[in-house]
Structure 1
């Protein structure tokens, strides 16, 4: 019973951890470029990047199936290289969680970068620092609070992902069954005791995440 109980939670934490690493790096990279560059269509690009934040999870799942499904060019390339499709795998759950969590990290990073006084970065350049040194030793430290907040919120969002994961990764016990999908199955089968335990565990983890962001902001 206890091993069956902890497996979905452990899987959720593993998937969310890998997802948040991907989102943290890609979100900072995208925010750095788009917060500094001006080009035609920038608004459309930013809208597309944050769209998963407002799209129904089932729509996100459907789009992922179209992009990575076995009948798509990307899906065929993946199957050729790895010998199997990506749908209904652990990595499918990581991709789904990363997509829905990315907008939170991107928005937090962009907000942090835009709040920095350009004079601080310019002073470092005048002292001879290259762009990478300016970014590593000035930009990142000055926006650390918003970046950590974005990291925590992204982790919480990835941890709670349900709809896109269910459609794209499925609900395979021990393989792709995360805590949210386990709760859904438990309720469907009438196992309310297990459902309550998973709900309490996930609510506790999410509370800690949000409480941490409040402490960082204060």
Structure 2
């Protein structure tokens, strides 16, 4: 077998990683946009508290975040029991839990660039649209959101990269189950703990680097096209 030929379980880890990252972004990005806009545009009692809570996953040990997820969304956790009984959703020791852990850990990295992008948008543009009778939601969608799109894209790419590499919270919350929760990061960890696992670890490292590099290139191309449409041109 060629050194660079991926084995079935390695393809499985890659497929699971991409699925986990995509699902994590699907739910994290819309919430991050809303939170970032609120933090950028409004000042209210508890503003600092909300900002601190959003960034907690950055400063907490990932294992602590994973344990908190297990307490809240595990089989006996209040959120886990509620979602299981009402929607049939189960997170603990399931790939959906890996997506939840990845989304939580990536969330502050998504929020930060989006907030900066909203802060860079001149509020007078939104005020002008509102003065013409546009509802607040329409003003947000037509004015603020397109102008902040490069920041949103950047946040999404950072979040995807974090989701791909997430390890501590994932292994604590959903364990390391082949075919179910073993993402690239967990597969790489498993390979380093296995005799003769060096070639596998090297292949997985190269694979993760290629996927991450491809995502960064794609984000740069999309951001340039968006800036060109908005009249900013290429850098």
Task: Give the TM-score of the pair, scaled to structure 2.
Answer: 0.86
- Does the C-alpha gap of structure 1 residues 144 and 85 become closer, same or farther in structure 2, counting only changes over 3 Å? closer
- Does the C-alpha gap of structure 1 residues 84 and 208 become closer, same or farther in structure 2, counting only changes over 3 Å? closer
Distance 2:89 2:29 in 1: 28
Distance 2:33 2:89 in 1: 31
Which of 184, 206, 226 is 1:200 aligned to? 206
- Does the C-alpha gap of structure 1 residues 10 and 46 become closer, same or farther in structure 2, counting only changes over 3 Å? same
Task: Report the equivalent of 1:162.
Answer: 167
Which of 176, 182, 204 is 1:171 aligned to? 176
Stretch of structure 1 that moved more, 46-55 or 32-41: 32-41
Q: Is the 8 A contact 1:183 1:199 kept in 2?
A: yes
Alignment of 1:65-84 (within 5 A): 65-81=70-86
Q: Is the 8 A contact 1:153 1:209 kept in 2?
A: no
Task: Verify: 1:47 aligned to 2:52, yes or no.
Answer: yes
RMSD of aligned Cα (Å): 1.8
- Does the C-alpha gap of structure 1 residues 132 and 95 become closer, same or farther in structure 2, counting only changes over 3 Å? same
Task: Report the equivalent of 2:194.
Answer: 189
Unaligned regions of 5+ residues in structure 1, if any? none
Alignment of 1:1-218 (within 5 A): 2-81=7-86, 85-190=90-195, 191-212=197-218, 216=223, 218=235
Aligned length: 218
* CA apart distance, 1:113: 0.8
Distance 1:131 1:160 in 2: 37
* CA apart distance, 1:45: 1.2
Unaligned regions of 5+ residues in structure 2, if any? 1-5, 225-234
* CA apart distance, 1:84: 7.5
- Does the C-alpha gap of structure 1 residues 53 and 116 become closer, same or farther in structure 2, counting only changes over 3 Å? same
Distance 1:20 1:86 in 2: 17
